């Protein structure tokens, strides 16, 4: 497993946890989440499309989805902002 797959799994787990806690709908298609290098290296080491691809299914704007996801991501080992 490479670093991108590792964080893809971690992000998917965060989305699932948010679904179980009721902060996001359950059953979102976490298989659509990707993690890749950002286009602009000044934006960090990893980028994900999670908020963009799942927000519509969660009936919320991508920014609102991201705001729910960010605290979980910041708590992950190896993540800094």
19 is a domain residue = yes
Backbone phi and psi for residue 77, each to the nearest 5 degrees, phi listed first: -65, 135
Does 81 map to a domain?
no
Classify residue 33: in a domain, yes or no: yes
pLDDT digits (tens, 9 = 90+) for 15-40: 999 999 999 999 999 999 999 999 99
Assess if residue 28 is contained within a domain. Answer: yes
* Cβ pair 24, 15 in contact under 8 A: yes
The residue that leads in pLDDT, 48 or 80, is: 48
Report yes or no: 72 and 17 within 8 Å, Cβ to Cβ.
Answer: yes
Full-model pTM:
0.91
Residue 79, domain member (yes or no): no
- State how far the Cα of 5 lies from the Cα of 39, in Å rounded to an integer: 18
pLDDT digit string (tens) for 46-77? 999 999 999 999 999 999 999 999 999 999 98
> What residues make up the domain containing 31?
3-74
| pLDDT band with cut points at 50, 70 and 90 for residue 1 | confident
Would 26 be classed as within a structural domain?
A: yes
31 and 15 Cβ atoms separated by less than 8 Å? no
How many distinct structural domains can be found in the chain? 1
For the chain, how big is the Rg over CA atoms in Å? 12
């Amino acid at each position: 497993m490479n670093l991108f797959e590792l964080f893809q799994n971690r992000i998917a787990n965060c989305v699932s946890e948010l679904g179980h806690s009721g902060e996001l709908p359950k059953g979102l298609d976490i298989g659509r989440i990707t993690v890749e290098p950002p286009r602009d290296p000044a934006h960090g080491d990893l980028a994900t499309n999670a908020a963009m691809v799942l927000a519509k299914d969660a009936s919320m704007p991508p920014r609102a989805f991201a705001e729910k996801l960010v605290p979980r991501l910041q708590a992950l080992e190896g993540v800094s902002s």
